[in-house]
Each structure stands twice: as structure tokens, then as C-alpha cells.
Amino acid sequence: MTTIDHVKYVKTLEIQSPIAGFPSTKGGAPVIEGAEQSFINDKSLVSFVSDVSGQRRNDVLNSILIAQLAANKQFPDELQILDWYKAFINVLNNLGWTIEAAEFSSFRSDTDVFEVENAIIDILTNAFGEVFKTVIIKTLASIKGLSDANGKITAFEKNTHSLSRGAFQIGLAKEENGVVMIQLGTFMLTSSSQIKRILFFKSTKEKTRLDYCSRKGTLNEEVYANIRKPVSDKLAGKATEFIAEVEIN
């Protein structure tokens, strides 16, 4: 088994910014302990249940972001999304995450017309249980309430899809037995119809294919403690550009 020099790995990791950034907010997206929170993080939505500490929230957000930016560098073409996803997971593993193995499946709708929003809720609830459902419903409702002209939505849309292809991730972080865990759903959409507002896209199942993968991961905090600063240094302020809070009630 090869031993990784985690600090060297982070320092030599090449990253590439996504297409669009979020409207800048002074001080970046604030994490708040003791409350549910959700964030748009490049092409991912990352939510936290109330018991996740502030430091762990920052660790999750930064590691998810840098893994995406590294995957962007390695596989920038939208036709390489599966390779992008494998690279993303590989970077997380090298940052101290242990991510369980999983394969992609195709979503099969019981009706002729399906809505991505409802498919997301069904898939993730079946995979991870009711604790996920409440937070993701709140997050999706909040995003749906934002106007098309909102800078957060504009950036998210540009980063997640073209006219006919799209990919995004939804994660929920929580703590179990003193360890931070993330439950991560990855979704890939291909359609002969023009994709708009990808999270709420509606289509007939003949025109659109939705593939998904659900998996869990845990963070080795002893490993991450040694690279927390190198990760922050590598991001060099990009967290304020590509992470934005979504207010949920």
C-alpha cells in the first residue's frame, strides 16, 4: 500500500476554477454552529444538520471545493463527466476521506413526465433515510424561490449544465460518534430538450436520462488537520468565489 505525503500532495495539486463565480460577499460564506445550513459549492449543494461544528463545516466545504477544482483541471470536457467524478472521489480520498464504493444507476420514473426535484428527494431518501429528506426539501424550496437573475443561481446553472447535459451533487454532512460523515448523491442528466434550472427540470422519460450514484464518506481528522492550512492556501480565496450560503428556514 502506497503511503501518501498529504501535504506535498495538496501543494502540488493543480486546480481549475469553474465557469462562473458567485457574487462576492465580504468575509465569504459564514458557517454557524447549532443550526441547519446549506451552501452552493461550485456544482454541489452541501447541507449540514445542526450538530456539525463550525470547524468541521469549513473542512467539508473546503475539501469538497478543492476536489471539484482539481477534477475540473483533469477533465474539463462535459463529455468526460464520469472521469471527472472518479477524479473528484480520488482527490477526496487523498485528503483523508474514506469514500465507500458505489456504481451509477439509471432513474426509472413511474410516470411519463418526471421532475428532477422529486427524483432527487426520492433517490436520496431511499439511500440515506428521512434525516436527509427534511434538509434537502428546505434547500430545494429556498433555491426554487430565488429569481432566475439571482447571482447564485446564475453561477450554479453555468457550472452544472450545457443545453443538453448536466451534472451536480448533493451532500449532507453530519456527525456520528465524534466523526464527520457526508452522504453524497451525484446526478448526471442527458436530454434532447433544453435544460433550464437543472434542479427543477421537467421532461418526459423518453427525452431525458437521469443517472445517479449514492455513497457515504467519513473524514480522518488526524490526516486533515495536517493539510487544513495547505488546502486553505491552495484555494487562496476561491472559497469566497465559489461557495455561497443558501438561506433555509
Note the pLDDT of residue 177: 87
pLDDT band of 42, cuts 50, 70, 90? very high
Q: How many domains does the chain have?
A: 1
Residues 66 and 235: beta-carbon distance below 8 Å: yes
Note the pLDDT of residue 24: 66
Note the pLDDT of residue 29: 66
CA–CA separation, 228 vs 68, rounded Å? 17
* Average pLDDT score over residue span 209-214: 92
Phi, psi of 98 (to 5 degrees): -110, 110
What's the pTM? 0.93
116 within domain boundaries: yes
19 within domain boundaries: no
Which residues are 44's β-sheet partners?
41, 169
Which residue type, as a one-letter code, is found at position 210? Answer: L
What is the per-residue pLDDT across 71-130, written as a single tens digit (0 to 9) for each?
999 999 888 999 999 999 999 999 999 999 888 999 888 888 889 999 999 999 888 888
224 within domain boundaries: yes
167 within domain boundaries: yes
* Average pLDDT score over residue span 229-237: 94
4 within domain boundaries: no
Q: How many helices (H) and strands (E) does the chain have?
A: 8, 10
CA–CA separation, 197 vs 120, rounded Å? 14
Q: Which domain holds residue 198?
A: 46-246
Least confident of 12-26, 67-81, 151-165: 12-26
105 within domain boundaries: yes
128 within domain boundaries: yes
* CATH code at position 229: 3.40.198
56 within domain boundaries: yes
